Amino acid sequence: MTLYSILVLAAGTYAFRLAGPLLSDRLQVSARAQELMSLATIAMLSALVATATLTAQGGFAGWARPAGVLVGALLAWKRLPFVVVVAAAALTAAGLRLAGVP
């Protein structure tokens, strides 16, 4: 990566980040629109969860990672503390890899 290409990536990324707050000035944000934007965020975040859990470079990520996320999900569902959820997910995946699961 050259300095110039990094600057272009940074500028473009910042434009994406700032566009939302700026656009929201122009839009009349009704309660309904606010709810739809929350749902849009939920859609994208759950898409991120799904792809980050199951895929790597467009293919299957292997079993250790989804197993770790599943353990984390069960603990989150049981309302265990957030730190425990994250640590358990990582430890499960790490343990499985140590045992030879990809």
Partner 1 sequence: MGTVDRALVRDVSAIALASGVVGISFGALAVAAGMPVWLALFMSVVVFAGGSQFVAVGVVAAGGSPVAAVFAGLLLNARHLPFGLAVADVLGRRWPTRLLGAHLMVDESVAFALAQPDPARRRAAYWWCSGLLFVGWNLGVTVGSVAGSAVGDPATLGLDAAFPASLLALLLPGLLPPRKTSDAAPPVDGAGAEDKAARARRVALVGAVIALATTPFLPAGVPILLALLAVGVALR
The residues that touch partner 1, with contacts defined as CB under 8 A, are 1-10, 12-14, 16-21, 23-24, 27, 35-55, 58-59, 61, 64-65, 68-69, 72-73, 76-77, 81-83, 85-95, 97
The distance of closest approach from Cβ of residue 27 to partner 1 in the complex, given in angstroms and rounded to an integer, is: 8
**What single-letter DSSP state applies at residue 62?**
-
CA–CA separation, 69 and 90 (whole Å)? 8
- Name which of 30 and 58 has its Cβ closer to partner 1: 58
Closest CB 30 distance from partner 1, rounded Å: 13
CB of 64 to partner 1, least distance (A): 7
Nearer to partner 1, 16 or 30 (CB): 16
d(CA 53, CA 72): 11
The partner residues of 102 in beta bridges, in order of sequence, read none
User: What are the beta bridge partners of residue 75?
Assistant: none
